[in-house]
Structure 1
Amino acid sequence: MFRLQKKSVFDPTRVTQLSWNPRAFLYKGFLSDEECDHLMNLARDKLEKSMVADNESGKSIESEVRTSSGMFIGKAQDEIVDDIEARIAAWTFLPQENGESIQILHYEHGQKYEPHFDYFHDKANQELGGHRVVTVLMYLSNVGKGGETVFPNSEGKTIQPKDDSWSDCAKNGYAVKPQKGDALLFFSLHPDATTDTNSLHGSCPVIEGEKWSATKWIHVRSFEKSLKHAGSGGCIDENENCPLWAKAGECEKNPVYMVGSEGSYGSCRKSCKVCSS
């Protein structure tokens, strides 16, 4: 029986720094052909029109700036997905709980995603794990022409040589060609956690063929914990000692941990009586 080889430990010799503004790195052969095919097969009959986050409300809405189709696959839904998740965590040095589920995207002829930021402009999404700090974009297929990932604000856009094999869109910034199995990692925040406007990026229109990719967004805090809080209205205790700590006055003495701060849920909100159960 065919079985994929485990590859959770990443090979740093395959990683190349592309840019420092924004911080961007390319991993050649991050996924095997079999892994790429597996992810595409998981998504083929479940694709829906891609959405974007509204800058004011944070709600998902349809927009002509993004014309692909996509779907999310469950974390650790099978052994292959679990291994890919572990490999991403090893490369980024960020815990798996900080990541969203992997999104599979499909771009047909002419489809694109206009330049945008992966960090948030609305408060609602920032409460769910904070800003997205890292994006890992995995290419699942080769593209005949077009479909490049382009960074219009990158410092390297004026020095990257480009011939006629690049699309006109790709010539508007530093660009990366989709190649099956490769993975692009870039940061949306500076090391001091401020937003990086140089991380503006887009997916150029597909000119020949089709494009499949898989995106992993990773937040500054636990995304899973934030979802649990949001589902309960934020009214839970994460530690069995919360009632004792609250009686001892920790809600007032240590409010950031117990109650939380702006954009961050506390660990003992129920015992501190700052929400309704």
Structure 2
Amino acid sequence: MDPTRLFLLISLGVLVRFSHGNESVLKLITGSSSPSLDPTRVSQISWKPRAFLYRWFLSDEECDHLIILAKDKLEKSMVADNESGKSVESEVRTSSGMFIQKAQDEIVAGIEARIASWTFLPIENGEAMQILHYEHGQKYEPHFDYFHDEVNQKLGGHRIATVLMYLSDVEKGGETVFPTSEVEHEGIRQPKGEDWTDCAKQGYAVKPRKGDALLFFSLHPDATTDPMSLHGSCPVVEGEKWSATKWIHVRSFDRTSQKQPTDCVDDHPNCAAWALAGECEKNPLYMVGSEGMAGSCRKSCKACSSSS
């Protein structure tokens, strides 16, 4: 099979691997035998960077559910400092957001499983899902999802891929733009009329549509970083924008499954900063955990018993 075709099929999540005797076989599965995924809804939008758009990846009910989980827990979004790796405030990112505990409920767990099936990347390599809210004029200037600091790279390695799910329609603006991407795909230049913002005209861009999901890779197939994965969220001009982001690493990011709910440890280098910002009270499921499920920042939240 042609390598480009093979990679595209893997990116679409329509190949499964099984053993036959001593041989490993790749088998193409159709939408009818994989009801949770429909490869006919996926289109390759760019090869530099590698990016794919899945129409109606989420149902309206799933989108609304994620918004409800986040709506009263939003805080100003932070960015990772390039030197220390700590979360800091920055005018390059003016949205608000929060993290949802992995497998917090059946709907969240189902979405995470679907993401793993589509991307062919393990669930345990993913971070907790982040819900973001952009109001009028809010944006996220172009940035990379891979890391420049060593602190974040030690926990799961680089982010290899990002799945960005749009939870609402936006009347105007809020496009996801790749400003250094190739402006043509398969010899065709992306048409952009007056309904696109000037920000979105800098490179290939995707309009936010409720239920759609954008998958793009921050690393090349040889695991080197891809500078063409530079991307940003254009300012919202009319309406508001809700989105959910799933970052996926090259190694397991899921340390919580390896410890007990009472263990006194932090899983993320930013736990202390999040605790100071009040996240222990505002987002207790993710930070502290619950009976039977360990939180990610128990030490910083001072949720440890005297015997821990």
The 2-side partners of 1:8 and 1:56 are apart by 45
Q: CA deviation at 1:231?
A: 3.8
Q: What is the identity, as a one-letter code, of the residue corresponding to 1:123?
A: E
CA contact (8 A) 1:29 1:183 kept: yes
Query: Amino acid of the residue matched to residue 222 of structure 2?
Result: D
Kindly indicate whether residue 226 of structure 2 is the aligned counterpart of residue 196 of structure 1. Answer: yes
SS in 2 for 1:218: strand
Give 1:210's aligned amino acid: E
Which whole-Å CA distance do the structure 1 matches of 2:255 and 2:105 have between them?
22
Distance 2:100 2:35 in 1: 19
**Matching residue of 1:210:** 240
Which protein is bigger by CA-based radius of gyration?
1
Contact 1:190–1:196 under 8 Å retained in 2? yes
* Shift, 1:153, TM fit: 0.9
Task: Give the match's secondary structure for 2:246.
Answer: strand
3-state SS, counterpart of residue 134 of structure 1: strand
Gaps of 5+ in 2: 1-33, 268-308
What is the Cα deviation at residue 89 of structure 1?
0.4
Q: Equivalent residues in 2 for 1:154-165 (5 A)?
A: 154-156=181-183, 159-165=189-195
The answer for the alignment partner of 1:79 in structure 2 is 106
Match of residue 53 from structure 1:
80
Amino acid at match of 1:24: A
Task: Give how far 1:8 is off.
Answer: 7.2
Query: Residues 128 and 226 of structure 1 are in contact (CA less than 8 Å); yes or no, is this contact kept in structure 2?
Result: no
- The correspondence of residues 1-277 of structure 1 with structure 2, limited to 5 A, is 9-156=36-183, 159-225=189-255, 231=265
Instruction: Calculate the TM-score normalised by the size of structure 2.
Output: 0.71
CA offset at residue 159 of structure 1? 1.9
1:156, distance to aligned residue in structure 2 (A): 2.5
Question: How many residues were matched structurally?
Answer: 227
CA distance in 1, matches of 2:223, 2:45: 21
CA distance in structure 2 between the aligned counterparts of 1:226 and 1:192, rounded to whole angstroms: 29
> 1:10: Cα distance to partner?
1.3
Identical aligned residues as a percent = 78
CA offsets per residue over residues 75-108 of structure 1, 9 Å max, x none?
A: 1111100100000000011110000000000000
The aligned amino acid for 1:84 is I
Alpha-carbon contact 1:148-1:203 (below 8 Å) kept: yes
The residue type paired with residue 138 of structure 1 is M
In structure 2, how many angstroms separate the alpha carbons of the residues matched to 1:228 and 1:59? 24
The CA deviation string for residues 134-171 of structure 1, in whole angstroms up to 9 with x for no partner, is: 10000000000000000001112692111000001001
Distance in 2 of aligned mates of 1:51 and 1:227: 26
**Structure 1 match to 2:277:** none
